[in-house]
Chains A and B, each alone.
Chain A
Amino acid sequence: MNTALSWIKAYVPELECTPQEYLDRMTLTGTKVETFECLDKNLAKIVVGKIMSTEKHPDADKLIVCQVDVGTETLQIVTGAQNVGVGDLIPIVLDGGKVAGGHDGGPLPEDGIPIKNGKLRGVESYGMMCGIEELGSSRDFYPEAPEDGVYIFKDGDVKPGDDAIAALGLNDTVFEYEITSNRVDCYSVIGIALEAAVTFDKPFVMPTVNVKGNNEDVNDYVKVEVADTELCSRYCARVVKNIKIGPSPKWMQRRLAASGIRPINNIVDITNYVMEEYGQPMHAYDLDTVAGHKIVVKRAANGDEFMTLDGTMRALDDNMLMICDAEKQIGIAGIMGGENSKITDSATTLLFEAATFNGANIRKSAKRLGLRTDASGKFEKGLDPRNAYDAINRACSLIEELGCGEVVGGVVDVCVPLKELRKLEFRPGRINELLGTDVPAEDMLDIFAKLKLEYDKSTNMLTVPSFRQDLEGLADLAEEVARFYGYDKIPSTLPSGEATTGKISFKQRIEAKAREVAEYCGFSQGMCYSFESPKVFDKLCLDENDVLRNAIEISNPLGEDYKIMRTISLNGMLTSLSTNYNRRNKDAKLYELANIYLPKSLPLTESPDERMQFTLGFYGDGDFFTMKGVVEEFFDSIGMSNKIIYDPKSSKKFLHPGRQANICYGGKVCGYLGEVHPEVLDNYEIGTKAYVAVLDMPNIVPQASFDRKYEGVAKYPAVSRDISMVVPKEILVGDIEAMIAQRGGKILESYSLFDVYEGEQIKSGFKSIAYNITFRAKDRTLEDNDVNGAMKKILNGLEGLGIELRQ
Chain B
Amino acid sequence: MKEKLEQIKKEAIEQIAKSDALDALNDVRVNFLGKKGELTAVLKGMKDVAPEDRPKVGQLVNETRAEIERILEEATKKLENIKREMTMKAEVIDVTLPAKKNIVGHRHPNITTQEEVQNIFIGMGYEVIEGPEIETDYYNFEALNIPADHPAKDEQDTFYINGEYLLRTQTSGTQVHVMEKGNLPIRMIAPGRVFRSDEVDATHSPSFHQIEGLVIDKHITFADLKGTLAEFAKELFGEDTKVRFRPHHFNFTEPSAEMDVSCFKCGGAGCRFCKGTGWIEILGCGLVHPNVLKMSKIDPEEYSGFAFGIGLERIALLKYEIDDMRLLYENDVRFLKQF
Q: Which residues of A contact B (CB under 8 A)?
A: 27-30, 32, 180-183, 359-360, 363, 367, 380-381, 433-437, 473-476, 478-479, 482-483, 487-488, 490-505, 507-508, 515, 518-531, 552-558, 562, 565, 576, 579-580, 583, 585, 587-591, 594-595, 597, 603-604, 607-608, 610
Contacts and interface: CB of A to CB of B under 8 A. Distances in A.
B236 interface: no
A488 B245 contact: yes
A482 B254 CA distance: 11
Interface in B188-226: 193, 195, 197, 199-200, 206-207, 215, 217-224, 226
Given A523-B105, A565-B134, A576 B247 contact: no
A647 B248 CA distance: 58
B155 interface: yes
Nearest to A29: B247
Nearest to A607: B132
Interface stretch (B46-54, B69-77, B117-125): B117-125
Contact of A475 (B151, B160, B206, B289): B289
Interface string B80-105: 00000000000000000000000111
A360 B118 contact: no
A638 B217 CA distance: 36
B219 A552 contact: no
Nearest to B328: A527
A183 B247 CA distance: 12
Contacts of A524: 105-108, 331, 333, 336-337
Contact of A526 (B124, B224, B336): B336
B38 interface: no
Nearest to A31: B247
Nearest to A492: B227
10 contacts: A381-B151, A434-B222, A478-B287, A482-B255, A487-B245, A501-B125, A515-B111, A552-B134, A556-B159, A607-B136
Contacts of B331: 524, 526-528, 576, 579-580, 590
Nearest to B158: A556
Given A487-B257, A498-B185, A610 B128 contact: no
Contacts, number: 252
B50 to A, nearest CB: 61
Q: Place the interface of chain B in its size category.
A: 35 or more
Contacts of A529: 206-207, 329
The B contact surface, by secondary structure, is mixed
A494 B231 contact: yes
B142 interface: no
B105 A525 contact: yes
A30 B226 contact: no
A28 B125 contact: no
Given A29-B247, A502-B126, A519-B105, A435 B222 contact: yes
Nearest to B122: A502
Given A479-B255, A493-B221, A530 B151 contact: no
Given A552-B161, A553-B161, A554-B159, A497 B218 contact: yes
Contacts of A434: 221-222, 287, 304
A504 B195 contact: no
Interface in B121-176: 121-130, 132-134, 136, 149-152, 154-155, 159-162, 164-165, 167
A490 B219 contact: no
Contacts of A608: 134
Interface of B: 103-108, 110-111, 118, 121-130, 132-134, 136, 149-152, 154-155, 159-162, 164-165, 167, 185, 187, 193, 195, 197, 199-200, 206-207, 215, 217-224, 226-228, 230-231, 244-249, 254-257, 287, 289-290, 304, 328-334, 336-337
Contact of A555 (B151, B161, B200, B255): B161
Contacts of A519: 104-107
In this complex, the member of A490, A524, A553, A557 whose beta carbon has the largest number of chain B beta carbons within 10 angstroms is A524
A476 B254 contact: yes
Given A29-B247, A493-B223, A181 B255 contact: no
Contacts of A476: 254
Contacts of A500: 125-127, 185, 187
Contact of A436 (B162, B167, B222): B222
A566 to B, nearest CB: 11
Which 5 A-B pairs rank lowest in CB-CB distance, beginning with the nearest? A436-B223, A436-B221, A30-B247, A479-B255, A180-B249
A478 B128 contact: no
Contact of B206 (A181, A558, A588, A590): A558
B338 to A, nearest CB: 10
Contacts of A381: 151
A618 B93 CA distance: 36
Contacts of B150: 360
B111 A525 contact: yes
B302 to A, nearest CB: 12
A435 B162 contact: no
A363 B151 contact: yes
B330 to A, nearest CB: 6
A227 B73 CA distance: 120
Nearest to B123: A502
B257 A494 contact: no
B105 A475 contact: no
A557 B200 CA distance: 13
A495 B220 contact: yes
Select the residue from A475, A498, A519 with max chain B CB neighbours within 10 A: A475
A526 to B, nearest CB: 3
A528 B329 contact: yes
A508 B149 CA distance: 37
Specify which of B107, B161, B244, B328 lies most central, judged by the most chain A CB atoms within 10 Å of its CB: B161
A776 B159 CA distance: 62
Given A183-B249, A487-B257, A527-B331, A522 B105 contact: yes
A588 B289 contact: no
A474 B289 CA distance: 10
A680 B215 CA distance: 49
Nearest to A180: B249
A160 to B, nearest CB: 40
B127 to A, nearest CB: 5
A334 B94 CA distance: 81
Given A490-B226, A500-B127, A557 B159 contact: yes
Of A433, A482, A492, A507, which is in contact with the most chain B CB atoms at under 10 Å from its CB?
Answer: A492
A527 B114 CA distance: 14
A502 B124 contact: yes
A360 B162 CA distance: 20
Given A494-B227, A524-B336, A530-B193, A610 B125 contact: no
B256 A479 contact: yes
Contacts of A437: 222-223
Nearest to B243: A492
Contacts of B247: 28-30, 479, 482-483, 487
Nearest to A181: B151
B65 to A, nearest CB: 44
B106 A527 contact: no
Chain B CB count within 10 A is highest, among A180, A500, A558, for A500
A604 B223 contact: no
A497 B133 CA distance: 32
B106 A474 contact: no
A556 B123 CA distance: 41
A495 B337 contact: no
Contacts of A555: 160-162
Given A488-B244, A526-B108, A556-B159, A495 B255 contact: no
B261 to A, nearest CB: 14
A488 B133 CA distance: 36
Contacts of B160: 554-556
Nearest to A592: B331
A527 B329 contact: yes
B221 A433 contact: yes
B151 to A, nearest CB: 6
Given A505-B128, A558-B199, A435 B223 contact: yes
Nearest to B128: A504
A521 B123 CA distance: 29
